[in-house]
Amino acid sequence: MKKETEPMIEKKESLQKRNKISPTIIAAIITALATIIAAIITAIIYYLPFSSTPPRPPGYNIGNEFHPAGYMGCFDKLDINPAYTIEPLSSPHCYKVKVDFSDSCSAGFSGVYWTNTVDNSGANWGQHSGTDLSNKGFSKVTFWAKGQKGGEVIEFGSGGINNTKDLKFKYKDSYAEKYPTEGRNVTLTNSWQLYSIRLGKEDLSSVIGGFFFIVNRQANSTGITFYLDDISFE
């Protein structure tokens, strides 16, 4: 057998060294692959519609910070469950609202305000100062709603407490009533829908009534059941 010459051996060793991948390069490749896999998993979690529960929206959660205590009209016809756990938009719960007009209702409507504070007398109708949400960059109130059957007509809004001559207290909302882009009265479907109340550049230095709804008997003769979730300033 012919022996390999020294130049040939040196050439083989040089080729082996050239083809050998260094540990540093291997580590860099593994790190890059891990980053790509993590990005793909994140995209799947957040963008594929396999889950009916989206991440909670950013902003100031009215449902957590304000209180549905400002009852209006025939308040005895109104029942609010703030911890309803069957098919909420965002776990673990949502609001279930039931209005029963089967008996008489002299006012012709029933509703409630989410107010920033409550005391022994109930909701804040202007006897206490509002919450300062100015300089937060908020320009709208958003909320999700659905009806039990679909076709329920409800008035939704934000602001307006003590902005009329009817209530004579020291404090008031720093902006008048605002309504959803769909209009003052919204007709619900039986699936979760996102609604928005545009505030624009309104003064948010004194927010007392962050959110409200009113159910009119004329539009819902016997009453309705509907659901609310993720009510927020954004």
Task: Report pLDDT digits (tens) over 48-85.
Answer: 444 444 444 457 999 899 999 999 999 999 999 999 99
**Please, which pLDDT band fits residue 3 given cuts at 50, 70 and 90?**
low
- The architecture (CATH level 2) of 60-233 comes to Sandwich (2.60)
- Let me know: does 199 contact 173? Beta carbons within 8 Å: no
What pLDDT is recorded for position 8? 58
What pLDDT is recorded for position 47? 44
Q: What are 96-116's pLDDT values in tens digits?
A: 999 999 988 999 999 999 999
Q: Which of 10-19, 157-166, 176-185 is least confident?
A: 10-19
**Structure-model confidence comparison of residues 41 and 230, the more confident one:** 230
Question: What is the per-residue DSSP string for 173-199?
Answer: -SS--B-BTT-SEEE--SS-EEEEEE-
Mean pLDDT of 205-214: 97
Tell me the domain boundaries of the chain: 6-47, 60-233
